Structure 1
Amino acid sequence: MAHNHSHSSEKIGWAFFSNFSFTIIEFVGGWLTNSTAIMADAVHDLGDTLSIGSGWVLNKLGDKGADKQFTYGYRRLSLLGALINGVVLLAGSAWILFEAIPRLADPVMPETEGMILLAILGVAVNGFAAFKLQGGKTLNEKVLNWHLLEDVLGWVAVLIVAIVMQFVAWPVLDPLLSIGFTLFILFNVGRNLLSTLKLFFQAVPDNRLPSKVTHVLQKLDFVKSLHHLHIWSLDGEHHVATAHVVARFESIDEYRHLKQRIAETMDQFGFMHTTIEIELLEEDCRDTRVES
């Protein structure tokens, strides 16, 4: 698990440095080509770079082990990174729409030759960074991957528009394509951001998980009922479960057998931490708080 998290930080680091370098190139290229569209994308990429950088730092901090103050470790910092990046990306996409929609009524013809060269470079650089984050397991990686995918699609749109405008004067294609890919990104980032918010509020990472856990535990010998089942996630990848199991057994050997079977049963779900309290059928639950 630690190796996977370290590999995640390494991939995010690659994405940060490639995006940061290309952002500088974009500003220079936008100034040389006198293209407001490219300068606007450079500003957007600068926001992406800052967002990816914050996500990278938080992801690396998440590698720290548990201590006396944070007994579960620092993995939720990665979740914080996913939340920050999702919010930044939503804000950036809204800004693109704010800029692109008015241009539908008053489109401006840019210098297409410079746009084509920068677009090819943009697809290559951002495509490489997106490839490095492809298949990421954490929410942080997934949200950052959408950051980069947005940039790739944006540069593909710029390339197509620039080539078309080499032959016909249709500057309105630029804002149309920008609006199209931005709406597509907004939909997917919105889903990831909603998942992140749910995990922040300690929602169950998978709605089917509580019923599955309840079903397998109640099938065990000596188990009579189950209550106070709680399942949440530290970072979208590492889950925690606690429960009270009511049981009846006649000997210490049966008790040991039950503990062993519970451990084996819970192993199949891959929880990072599990805490199972076994209560006798005749005793009252010490946690008298009513669950809603």
Structure 2
Amino acid sequence: MHDHHSGHHHPIPDSGSAIAWAFFLNFGFTIIEFIGGYLTNSTAIMADAIHDLGDSLAIGLSWVLNRISKKPHNEAFSYGYRRFTLLGSIINGTILIIGSIWIFTESIPRLFNPQMPMVEGMIGLAILGTIVNGYAAYKLSNGKTLADRMLNLHLLEDVLGWVAVLVVAIILYFFDWPILDPILSIGFTLFILLNVGKTLYKTIRVFLQATPDTEEYRELENRIRSIPNIKDVHHFHIWSLDGARNVLSAHVVIHSEIGIQRQRELKATIQACLSEYDFEHTTIELEFLEQGCRDEPAQPHSH
């Protein structure tokens, strides 16, 4: 006997329009960066422009995958297309790591051969870059999925990068210390790499269908086991569609002498317990103690 339940989950905000905003803002400003980097003769700004171009491509990919994820379920993808956003998150994280490594290759040599750029142009571009990327980050700040968080890290990296450029440009306006530029670039890149590593680790775990919260897993399994007339719980699985929408399935063993009405009450009790955990979808199968589990592997016949 199965019981399917969609859960009383809270709706996840649609981030599609926010991602579109972030893409067009980022891509448009990347063009401005290339022009500004050429005019100011600033290798730091040109490097940031190339990095922002990679960000724009990653955000555009996430935008496409986000639209795909809204498609309804069908025979090929019975749970829908939500997990496509995880693919975008992994690709974005990879691009961020590659881009950060590239920044290192540009910044470290400048520690030994610092160059003075056109400071006034740097200040103007840094102010504009901070505003544009800060607004884009704000548009995505309410994202709940792992893909949204990864995009926020893209934009956070851009904001920190422009703040670093602004601080360095203001100092260079008064002091001849060009070595500050590569030092700050290396500092914020290390910070971003740390956060990307954490988010990418979580994304890969969700992609591999790991349990979102092992403590919650044990707690919920014990709560179901403690319900009267339940003798055992097995094939107990909790996994996540996209890092925000979780799914549960379980086999619950009861005695066969329990009547239909009591079985219905038992299912209602289980679902009341599950409703506290905000699942996107739950599947409970009631099994009789005497029948055994049909999903257990068949034992070889002895001759």
> Normalising TM by the smaller chain, what interval?
over 0.9
Q: Per the alignment, in what secondary structure is the counterpart of residue 268 of structure 1?
A: helix
Aligned length: 289
Q: Separation in 1 of the partners of 2:262 and 2:174?
A: 82
User: Residue 270 of structure 1: CA displacement?
Assistant: 1.5
Unaligned ranges ≥5, structure 2: 1-8, 299-303
Question: Which residue, out of 67, 73, 81, partners 2:74?
Answer: 67
User: Residue 35 of structure 1: CA displacement?
Assistant: 1.3
Question: Which residue, out of 277, 285, 288, partners 2:293?
Answer: 285
Q: Which residue of 1 aligns with 2:301?
A: none
Deviating runs (4+, > 4 A) in structure 1? none
Corresponding letter in the other structure for 2:43 = T
Question: Which residue, out of 219, 223, 226, partners 2:226?
Answer: 219
Percent identity (aligned): 56
Q: Per the alignment, in what secondary structure is the counterpart of residue 145 of structure 1?
A: helix
Q: Which residue of 2 aligns with 1:190?
A: 197
Q: Which residue of 1 aligns with 2:6?
A: none
Q: Per the alignment, in what secondary structure is the counterpart of residue 70 of structure 2?
A: coil
Q: Per the alignment, in what secondary structure is the counterpart of residue 241 of structure 1?
A: strand
Q: Which residue of 2 aligns with 1:115?
A: 122
Q: Which residue of 2 aligns with 1:260?
A: 268
Q: Which residue of 1 aligns with 2:175?
A: 168
User: Residue 3 of structure 1: CA displacement?
Assistant: 6.6
Q: Which residue of 2 aligns with 1:83?
A: 90
Question: Which residue, out of 99, 112, 117, partners 2:106?
Answer: 99
Deviations 1:118-165 (A, max 9, x none): 000000100100111113111111110110110111011101111111
Q: Which residue of 2 aligns with 1:237?
A: 244
User: Residue 279 of structure 1: CA displacement?
Assistant: 1.1
Deviations 1:252-281 (A, max 9, x none): 221121122122222221111111111111
Greater alpha carbon shift after TM alignment, 175-184 vs 94-103: 94-103
Q: Separation in 1 of the partners of 2:259 and 2:74?
A: 38
User: Residue 250 of structure 1: CA displacement?
Assistant: 2.9
Give the conservation status (yes or no) of the 8 Å contact 1:2–1:63.
Answer: no
Q: Separation in 2 of the partners of 1:236 and 1:52?
A: 18
**How big is the alpha-carbon RMSD for the aligned residues of Structure 1 and Structure 2?**
1.5
Q: Per the alignment, in what secondary structure is the counterpart of residue 208 of structure 1?
A: helix
Q: Separation in 2 of the partners of 1:62 and 1:253?
A: 40
Deviations 1:23-70 (A, max 9, x none): 010011111111111111100000000000001110111011111111
Q: Separation in 2 of the partners of 1:135 and 1:88?
A: 23
Q: Per the alignment, in what secondary structure is the counterpart of residue 112 of structure 2?
A: coil
Corresponding letter in the other structure for 1:121 = L
* TM-score between the two structures when normalised by the length of structure 2: 0.92
Give the conservation status (yes or no) of the 8 Å contact 2:10–2:278.
Answer: no
Question: Which residue, out of 247, 250, 268, partners 2:254?
Answer: 247
Question: Which residue, out of 253, 266, 276, partners 2:284?
Answer: 276
Greater alpha carbon shift after TM alignment, 88-97 vs 253-262: 253-262
Q: Which residue of 2 aligns with 1:20?
A: 27
Q: Which residue of 1 aligns with 2:36?
A: 29
Greater alpha carbon shift after TM alignment, 44-53 vs 93-102: 93-102
User: Residue 220 of structure 1: CA displacement?
Assistant: 1.3
User: Residue 208 of structure 1: CA displacement?
Assistant: 1.6
Q: Which residue of 1 aligns with 2:163?
A: 156
- 1:54 paired with 2:64, answer no
* TM-score between the two structures when normalised by the length of structure 1: 0.95
